[in-house]
């Protein structure tokens, strides 16, 4: 008798478990597919790369080669990719250990082309920048922090591109901040650089400063379900 009761109870438990799994799957399928980061509301960014001396600069003296900005209020797409550039669906899952936040938009939403200046740049670079940039922000989860690195857009691959690669913008935020209804990620700093030319280390060093101030504002949306419960993403 006991064995028969146990067999019936086991079958009933399996049926209940299957029903629960199916119900959760249906609820997840109906839920909006948004990133675990939340929705990116707006971006404001300004940066400048000033080279005061470099092997390619003419005559010494100060050369302000790039001053850029980017502003977006809605209409901006942010994708999460792994370290190989493959898109990752973070819905219901934590961010991968490392990867990229890829921000893509078009005028007037986001087109972070720097304003080029300086006697060492060709006129076509100064007047008609040939590059259109996306913002790729590298991230890594380190302990309870999310560390982020952003290589600033540059006008010239050598003159301001060299320090942009050597001294990217950096910041970090607690992972717990990602669970808040609203939060921001801010890059802020002024970094002096004195670096050797990676292709010609025996040449004079690159000297100057990099300044940046960029804020990405996120918000999680709460949606009321048919049964009255709130679902927040």
Q: What is the pTM of this model?
A: 0.73
Distance CA 154, CA 188 (A): 18
* Pair 11, 31: CB distance under 8 Å: no
Residue spans of the domains in the chain: they are: 1-30, 36-226
Distance CA 48, CA 150 (A): 14
Closest CA to 160 of 29, 63, 60: 63
Distance CA 10, CA 13 (A): 5
> Which of 15-29, 64-78, 117-131 is the most confident on average?
64-78
Distance CA 144, CA 154 (A): 32
> Which of 94-103, 126-135, 174-183, 206-215 is the most confident on average?
206-215
pLDDT number for residue 61:
64
* Pair 74, 42: CB distance under 8 Å: yes
pLDDT in tens, 171-216: 999 988 888 888 999 999 999 999 987 777 777 788 999 999 999 9
Q: Which residue has the tokens 């100064």?
A: 126
Task: Write out the two tokens for 72.
Answer: 């977006």
Start-to-end Cα distance in the chain: 50
Distance CA 33, CA 229 (A): 18
């Amino acid at each position: 008798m006991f064995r028969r009761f146990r067999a019936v109870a086991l079958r009933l438990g399996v049926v209940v478990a299957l029903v629960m799994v199916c119900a959760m799957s249906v609820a997840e399928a109906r839920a909006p597919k948004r990133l675990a980061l939340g929705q990116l509301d707006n971006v404001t960014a300004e940066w400048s790369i000033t080279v005061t001396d470099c092997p390619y600069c003419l005559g010494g003296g100060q050369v302000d080669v790039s001053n850029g900005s980017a502003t977006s209020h809605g209409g901006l797409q942010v994708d999460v990719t792994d370290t190989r550039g493959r898109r990752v669906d973070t819905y219901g899952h934590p961010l991968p250990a490392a990867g990229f936040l890829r921000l893509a938009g078009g005028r007037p939403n986001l087109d972070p082309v720097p304003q080029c200046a300086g006697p060492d740049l060709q006129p076509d670079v100064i007047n008609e920048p040939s590059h259109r940039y996306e913002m790729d922000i590298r991230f890594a989860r380190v302990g309870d922090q999310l560390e982020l690195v952003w290589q600033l857009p540059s006008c010239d691959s050598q003159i301001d591109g060299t320090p942009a690669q050597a001294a990217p913008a950096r910041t970090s935020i607690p992972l717990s901040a990602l669970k808040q209804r609203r939060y921001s990620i801010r890059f802020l700093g002024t970094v002096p650089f004195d670096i050797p030319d990676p292709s010609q280390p025996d040449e004079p060093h690159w000297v100057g400063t990099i300044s940046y101030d960029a804020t990405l504002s996120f918000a999680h949306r709460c949606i009321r379900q048919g049964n009255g419960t709130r679902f927040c993403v």
